Structure 1
Amino acid sequence: MSYFATTTLHRALHHLETAWLFTRSDFKTIIFPVMIFATVVSPRHNVLALFCALCWLWFHLFQFNASNQSYSVHEDLLNKPWRPVASGRISVKDSRALRWALAVFCSGLSFLFGLNVVITSGVYTVLVVMHDDFLLGHHPIFKNLCNVGGYVTLELGSLLILSRESSLDGTSIKALSCSALVIFLTVHAQDFADVNGDRRSGRRTLPIIAPEGSRIYMLCALPLSSFALASVWSLGPLSSLLFVSMSSWVGIRYYLFRDEICDQANYRLYNIWIMGVHFLSANVRFHALAW
């Protein structure tokens, strides 16, 4: 292999690793839950459409992270020093340029799947701008609203691609509504492990504003949300018991175990619960949770 080819391959692998590091920590929080949601809720299933939805989702997540991580260097140096900007793999300036290039690319990619996907992609880009450039991510309520909007647009885009429909049926709308409400009520679960970095960067998250109250809130909100969702999706008695029990355990852990390492473990368990939330509509599509 020539020197030019070797150098080109090395650079390509370096850039691929950088792209992976931008999105590495969000597979458990975004990629897996959203793809579970789209797969369960979609009335149609196709391997190629599933791959296209996954690619669309990953590139949009990459767009957000390239933007967000260019504004959170000080926080990431403390909480996630392996991220590309914090570790020096890419500069802040280049990360922001990459973010706008990805916004254009994501719009072009969305054109392959129809007007509604293009609109969804555009709304997502606006939410990224509001969250990062207009600093709404520093306010506890507006941050939650941006997170909900971003999460639901990713779910909507992936669902539209997978289902190959220009509009959604009643089950899909119901599932998106439940997802939006649950994310809005509980998304600050991600903030407990990042308190030190958030405080350093000037963010006002709920665990910083109300250290004790936020713990009590998680203790109550998770099982109550699960109980409501079990009723909405008409789960069977055993499925309801298991689902509510899991959320209760996560809520209890948030209240009792409060150091940073425990909060990281708590957040992993929360994401497993979120995946469960996104699986509940299977009871309507396939009657999978009627027992």
Structure 2
Amino acid sequence: MSYFAATTLHRALRHFETAWLFTRSDFKTIIFPVMVFATVVSPRHNLLALSYALCWLWFHLFQFNASNQSYSAHEDVLNKPWRPVPSGRISAKDSRALRWGLMLFCLGLSSLFSLNAVITSAVFAVLIIVHDDLHLGDHPIFRNLCNAAGYVTFELGSLLILSRESSLDGTSIKALYCSALIILLTIHAQDFADVNGDLKSGRRTLPIIAPEGSRIYMLCALPLSSFALASFWSLGPLSSVLFVSMGSWVGIRYFRDKICDESNYRLYNIWLMGVHLLPANVRFRALAW
């Protein structure tokens, strides 16, 4: 292999690694739950369409993270120093330029599928501007609203591509509404482990402005949400007990195990994965036992 080819390959691999590092921590929080949701909720299933949906989702996540991490480098030094900006792999200025390029790329990618996919991509770009550039992500209430809207946008786009439909059926719409409400009510679960970095950046999250109240809230919200969802999706008795028990356990851990918030958040994501599996009881009667 020539020196030029070896150098080009090395640079390409470094760029791929940088892209991976932008999204690495969000596979458990975004990629896996959203793809599970889209697979369960979609009335159609096709391996090629699934790969298209995964590609669409990852590039939109990459777009968001390139923007968001360019603003959060000072807190990531404490919370996630391996990310591309705080580790010095890319500057904050270049990360923001990359974000605008990815926005155009994502719009073009969406145009390959449907007009609704393009609209979804455009709405997502606006949400990034509102969250990052207008700094509404620093406000505890607007942060949750932006997160819920962005999460549902991920789900909607992936679902549209996987189902290959210009519109969604009733079950899909109900599942999206449920997901939006759960994310809105509980997504600040991610903020407990990041308190030190958020304090340094001046961000006001619920665990910062109400350290005890936010934990009491999680203790109540997770089991009550679990019970409501089990009833809404008509789960069987055993499935209901298991799901409500999981939500209750995670809520208790957030209340009692304050030094284990990183592992608490991982457990929250397992519970959230379960939330996204519940519509399977309507599609396949898979949770009727």
Distance in 2 between the 1:74 and 1:112 partners?
A: 37
Residue 100, structure 1, aligned to residue 100, structure 2: yes
Residue 144, structure 1, aligned to residue 140, structure 2: no
Residue aligned with 2:285, SS: coil
Post-superposition offset of 1:121: 0.2
The runs of 5 or more residues in structure 1 that have no matched partner are none
| Percent of matched pairs sharing the same residue | 82
Residue by residue, what CA displacement relative to the aligned partner does 1:107-143 show, whole Å, maximum 9, x if unpaired?
Answer: 0000001100000000000000000000000000000
RMSD: 0.3
Aligned to 1:192: 192
Distance in 2 between the 1:127 and 1:213 partners?
A: 28
Residue aligned with 1:43, SS: coil
Aligned to 1:282: 280
Residue aligned with 1:204, SS: coil
Aligned to 1:122: 122
Distance in 1 between the 2:204 and 2:48 partners?
A: 42
Residue by residue, what CA displacement relative to the aligned partner does 1:138-174 show, whole Å, maximum 9, x if unpaired?
Answer: 0000000100110000000000000000000000000
Opposite residue 245 of structure 1, the aligned amino acid is S
Residue by residue, what CA displacement relative to the aligned partner does 1:16-37 show, whole Å, maximum 9, x if unpaired?
Answer: 0000000000000000000000
Opposite residue 97 of structure 1, the aligned amino acid is A
Distance in 2 between the 1:251 and 1:95 partners?
A: 36
Post-superposition offset of 1:254: 0.3
Aligned to 1:206: 206
How do 1:15-164 and structure 2 match up within 5 A?
Answer: 15-164=15-164
Distance in 1 between the 2:113 and 2:142 partners?
A: 30
Aligned to 2:258: 258
Distance in 2 between the 1:237 and 1:214 partners?
A: 30
How do 1:179-258 and structure 2 match up within 5 A?
Answer: 179-258=179-258
Aligned to 1:8: 8
Post-superposition offset of 1:273: 0.3
Residue aligned with 1:68, SS: helix
Distance in 1 between the 2:235 and 2:96 partners?
A: 45
Residue aligned with 2:43, SS: coil
Opposite residue 86 of structure 1, the aligned amino acid is P
Opposite residue 278 of structure 2, the aligned amino acid is L
Distance in 2 between the 1:152 and 1:141 partners?
A: 17
Residue by residue, what CA displacement relative to the aligned partner does 1:229-267 show, whole Å, maximum 9, x if unpaired?
Answer: 0000000000000000001000000000002xx100000
Opposite residue 192 of structure 2, the aligned amino acid is F
Residue by residue, what CA displacement relative to the aligned partner does 1:15-65 show, whole Å, maximum 9, x if unpaired?
Answer: 000000000000000000000000000000000000000000000000000
Distance in 1 between the 2:11 and 2:25 partners?
A: 23
Distance in 2 between the 1:9 and 1:190 partners?
A: 37
Residue by residue, what CA displacement relative to the aligned partner does 1:164-192 show, whole Å, maximum 9, x if unpaired?
Answer: 00000000000000000000000000000
TM-score by length of 2: 1.00
Distance in 1 between the 2:199 and 2:8 partners?
A: 41
How do 1:264-275 and structure 2 match up within 5 A?
Answer: 264-275=262-273
Post-superposition offset of 1:202: 0.7
Opposite residue 89 of structure 1, the aligned amino acid is R
Structure 1 residue ranges (4+ consecutive) displaced by more than 4 angstroms after TM superposition:
none
Post-superposition offset of 1:208: 0.2
Residue aligned with 2:127, SS: helix
Distance in 2 between the 1:93 and 1:74 partners?
A: 14
Residue aligned with 2:86, SS: helix
